[in-house]
């Protein structure tokens, strides 16, 4: 019945049903909100019997946990890509610029995959003890702490604690993402290009909090 499957030979074995189910979750969340997602709805979207998702993921929480885990990996990839784009021009880049780039990556992922981003932080819907989820989360977090550590080494913390700078940078990127997705920031700032807003805000933060070694008489 789904249009996109018309020309595909429908077989008993799907091929990669787990992946198809995760895509269906994205669509279902985007359409009806996280609270309205059901295993049966997801199965319907994937064109599969309603008990198939439970077969692969054990339970509703299992399905959402897998979806969130995939989200963290994709977030890590997006942040890394944004940092890599910095170095395209040349050399081992400015550590502070990397922090800003990661913020942009975080934001880009969130805005590009709002449903997934939301599920990642809907803790009451996930299996809290899941190992894979924790590993994916750790991977993302260590990207940020490493970059702040590099700023520290480069003498750009100006006496501030790395933990505090990390918490601030993470909070800023997270808040930007959540408020943009919810529509609040778009409504209040009138800004239409989310990436532009994020870049402006993040650059301001990095410039103010992680300036280069102070030059006497510097103004900004």
Partner DNA sequence: TGTACATCAGTGAACGCGCGTTCACTGATGTAC
In the list 24, 25, 29, 52, the residue contacting DNA (rule: CB under 7 A) is: 52
Among residues 56 and 174, whose Cβ is nearest to DNA? 56
Euclidean distance between CA atoms 219 and 197, whole angstroms = 24
User: Binding a second copy by CB under 8 A: which of 27, 74, 86, 178?
Assistant: 178
Q: Which residues, 6+ apart, have CB-to-CB distance to 8 below 8 Å? A: none
What is the smallest separation between the CB atom of 60 and DNA, expressed in angstroms?
4
Cβ distance to DNA smaller for residue 59 or 189: 59
CB of 34 to DNA, least distance (A): 11
- Report the residue number, 49 or 187, with the smaller CB distance to DNA: 49
Gyration radius (Cα) of the chain, Å? 20
Sequence-distant contacts of 62-67: CB under 8 A, at least 24 apart:
62/127, 63/21, 63/22, 63/25, 63/39, 64/25, 64/37, 64/119, 64/122, 64/125, 64/126, 65/126, 65/127, 65/130, 65/132, 65/133, 66/18, 66/22, 66/132, 67/22, 67/25, 67/26, 67/116, 67/119
Q: Which is nearer to a second copy, 3 or 123 (CB)?
A: 123
Residue 90 touches which of a second copy, DNA, none (CB < 5 to 8 A by kind)? none
11 binds DNA (CB under 7 A): yes
Q: Is 196 in the site for DNA (CB under 7 A)?
A: no
Q: Which residues bind a second copy (CB under 8 A)?
A: 32-36, 121-125, 141, 158-161, 163-168, 170-176, 178-179, 182-183, 185, 188-191, 197, 200-201, 204-205, 208-209, 214, 216-217, 219-220
């Amino acid at each position: 019945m789904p249009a996109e499957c018309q020309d595909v030979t429908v077989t008993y074995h799907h091929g990669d049903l787990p992946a198809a189910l995760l895509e269906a979750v994205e669509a279902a969340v985007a359409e009806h909100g996280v609270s309205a997602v059901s295993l049966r709805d997801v199965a319907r979207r994937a064109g599969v019997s309603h008990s198939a998702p439970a077969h692969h993921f054990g339970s509703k929480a299992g399905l959402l946990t897998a979806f969130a885990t995939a989200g963290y990996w994709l977030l890590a990839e997006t942040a890394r890509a944004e940092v890599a784009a910095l170095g395209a021009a040349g050399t081992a880049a400015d550590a502070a610029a990397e922090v800003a780039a990661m913020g942009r990556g975080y934001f880009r992922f969130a805005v590009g995959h709002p449903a997934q981003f939301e599920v990642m932080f809907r803790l009451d819907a996930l299996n809290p003890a899941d190992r894979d989820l924790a590993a994916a989360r750790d991977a993302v977090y260590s990207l940020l702490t490493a970059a702040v550590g590099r700023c520290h080494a480069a003498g750009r913390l100006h006496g501030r604690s790395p933990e505090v700078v990390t918490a601030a940078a993470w909070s800023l990127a997270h808040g930007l993402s959540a408020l943009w997705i919810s529509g609040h920031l778009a409504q209040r700032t009138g800004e239409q290009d989310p990436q532009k807003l994020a870049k402006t805000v993040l650059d301001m933060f990095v410039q103010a909090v992680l300036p280069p070694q102070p030059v006497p008489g510097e103004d900004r």
